[in-house]
């Protein structure tokens, strides 16, 4: 039989219950293997109950000291009840100086006390009883989160000024730096908001006209990493010049905001519009002379584009790449059978091959092909090459060279490039065969 003897308003503050004629403190803490909350109990006396009823500060201090014991129990272990009981008299019945001394020797949950209004400066000085004079039954979890965020920054040697903190608040990254940034002007002190907006304006001016396109070979929603890095570098430099007093965390959150917004815009743009924004508008008119193109991947899957398709050939190809690309599927081909030419994209090696038919096969003889290789600078380079091929075939790629016919020579060039820009090793070597 279990009856509740005493309960405070705060839902998680430990309750006092009577179970089989015995007083116990009951608290929820941690979770079991199924992520359900665990409940712990341990015995207390009438004198302890009297203090818990009358003294919120001591009640919260006891809770803070018992929580580490609950954490130690894990998902299945038992609470060390002897250790919990041993905390009762020193916390509930001792003089404030003795309580302060105890908290210098034991583990305790600082964040729990801060959430319930503890004075942070006094806590830091070890005066836990004095810190709890302003304690409240209601909890402010955000106050504890901000404290822990400041502690993590302090461990890295970062001290925020008022404008630094305001910028992190504006982007929603004050508590967690990995949170996708957004604009939250209401979170900023109105007195600091004009300064924040001046910093944001500096960033916006620096990256005006820049974009972060999509990178279909990394997935339908992936964006161009090189373009992201270029924009971030540009914004960082501009903000540091205009506002040299800002710490790195504040500068990074501004560049992260600019890049995230540019990438989000790209993801929400239809592929045709995305191609147009990338400067491929000419493809809409000139690709009409192509009657049919064949797209294939490294798994033998094929998709054809016809001249009467309402979508551009480049948009169709990149959608095909987005649908099919995977860690074990990184070679894609565009072939113009009528012209006897095509290109093969090697995403695993940042390279491309252009293949042209030198002689058609006659009788039992096979066709003769010329295969030429070139290095590619990221997804932006691939976009330019694909668009050029769709518009003008292999001849239009000449200006995008140099092109090498010797595969071994090209492989050496690729490795020299990678020595200066380390990349993952290719899953397989370049092929000299036809499409």
pLDDT more than 90, % of the chain: 69
Three-state DSSP state, 163 = helix
Q: Are 411 and 320 in contact (CB under 8 A)?
A: no
DSSP string, 60-100: HHHHHHHHHHHHHHTTTPPP-HHHHHTTHIIIIIS-HHHHH
Could you report the per-residue pLDDT of 140-197, keeping only the tens digit for each?
A: 999 999 999 999 999 999 999 999 999 999 999 999 877 889 999 999 999 999 999 9
Q: Give 276's pLDDT tier (boundaries 50, 70, 90).
A: low
Q: How many CB atoms lie within 10 A of CB 165?
A: 20
Q: Give 401's pLDDT tier (boundaries 50, 70, 90).
A: confident
Residue 137, pLDDT above cutoff 90 = yes
In this predicted structure, what is the pLDDT of residue 260? 95
Distance CA 357, CA 82 (A): 85
The CA–CA distances, whole Å, from 201 to 56, 204, 238, 331 equal: 48, 5, 10, 42
How confident is the model over 420-430, as a mean pLDDT?
Answer: 48
- Mean of pLDDT over the chain: 89
The CA–CA distances, whole Å, from 47 to 89, 127, 162 equal: 9, 24, 47
In this predicted structure, what is the pLDDT of residue 186? 96
In this predicted structure, what is the pLDDT of residue 273? 56
Return all residues near 412 (Cβ < 8 A) that are at least 6 apart: none
Distance CA 171, CA 187 (A): 9
19, 24, 27, 28: CA torsion to nearest 10: -30
How confident is the model over 72-79, as a mean pLDDT?
Answer: 90
Q: Give 426's pLDDT tier (boundaries 50, 70, 90).
A: very low
In this predicted structure, what is the pLDDT of residue 433? 40
Could you report the per-residue pLDDT of 313-351, keeping only the tens digit for each?
A: 999 999 999 999 999 999 999 999 888 999 999 999 899
Return all residues near 373 (Cβ < 8 A) that are at least 6 apart: 351, 352, 353, 403, 404, 405, 407, 410, 430
Could you report the per-residue pLDDT of 104-124, keeping only the tens digit for each?
A: 999 999 999 999 999 999 999
Q: Are 312 and 275 in contact (CB under 8 A)?
A: yes
Q: Greater confidence, 32 or 43?
A: 43
Q: Greater confidence, 426 or 46?
A: 46
In this predicted structure, what is the pLDDT of residue 223? 87
CA atoms within 13 Å, Cβ hemisphere of 138: 2
């Amino acid at each position: 039989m279990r009856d509740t003897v005493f309960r405070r308003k705060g839902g998680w503050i430990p309750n006092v219950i009577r179970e089989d004629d015995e007083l116990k403190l009951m608290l929820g803490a941690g979770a079991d293997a199924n992520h359900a909350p665990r409940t712990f109990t341990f015995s207390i006396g009438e004198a302890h109950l009297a203090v818990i009823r009358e003294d919120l500060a001591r009640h919260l201090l006891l809770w803070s000291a018992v929580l580490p014991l609950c954490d130690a129990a894990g998902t299945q272990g038992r609470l060390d009840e002897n250790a919990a009981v041993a905390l009762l008299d020193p916390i509930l019945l001792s003089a404030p100086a003795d309580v302060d001394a105890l908290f210098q020797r034991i583990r305790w949950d600082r964040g729990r006390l801060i959430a319930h209004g503890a004075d942070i400066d006094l806590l830091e000085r070890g005066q836990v009883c004095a810190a709890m004079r302003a304690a409240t039954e209601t909890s402010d979890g955000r106050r504890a989160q901000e404290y822990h965020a400041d502690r993590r920054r302090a461990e890295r040697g970062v001290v925020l000024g008022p404008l630094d903190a305001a910028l992190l608040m504006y982007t929603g990254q004050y508590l967690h730096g990995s949170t996708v940034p957004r604009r939250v002007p209401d979170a900023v002190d109105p007195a600091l908001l004009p300064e924040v907006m001046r910093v944001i304006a500096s960033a916006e001016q620096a990256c005006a006209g820049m974009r972060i396109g999509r990178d279909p070979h990394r997935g339908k929603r992936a964006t161009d990493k090189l373009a992201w890095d270029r924009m971030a570098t540009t914004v960082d430099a501009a903000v540091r010049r205009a506002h040299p007093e800002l710490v790195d965390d504040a500068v990074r959150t501004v560049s992260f905001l600019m890049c995230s917004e540019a990438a989000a815009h790209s993801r929400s743009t239809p592929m045709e519009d995305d191609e147009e924004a990338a400067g491929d508008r000419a493809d809409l008119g000139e690709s009409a002379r192509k009657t049919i193109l064949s797209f294939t991947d490294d798994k033998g899957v094929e998709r054809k584009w016809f001249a009467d398709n309402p979508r551009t050939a480049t948009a169709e190809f990149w959608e095909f790449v987005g649908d099919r690309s995977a860690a074990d599927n990184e070679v894609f081909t565009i072939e113009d059978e009528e012209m006897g030419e095509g290109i093969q994209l090697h995403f695993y090696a940042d390279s491309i091959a252009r293949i042209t038919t030198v002689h058609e096969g006659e009788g039992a003889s096979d066709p003769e092909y010329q295969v030429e290789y070139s290095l590619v600078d990221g997804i932006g380079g691939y976009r330019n090459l694909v668009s050029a091929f769709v518009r003008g075939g292999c001849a239009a790629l000449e200006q995008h060279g140099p092109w090498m016919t010797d595969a071994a020579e090209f492989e050496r060039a690729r490795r020299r490039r990678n020595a200066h820009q380390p990349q993952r090793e290719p899953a397989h070597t370049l092929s000299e065969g036809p499409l």
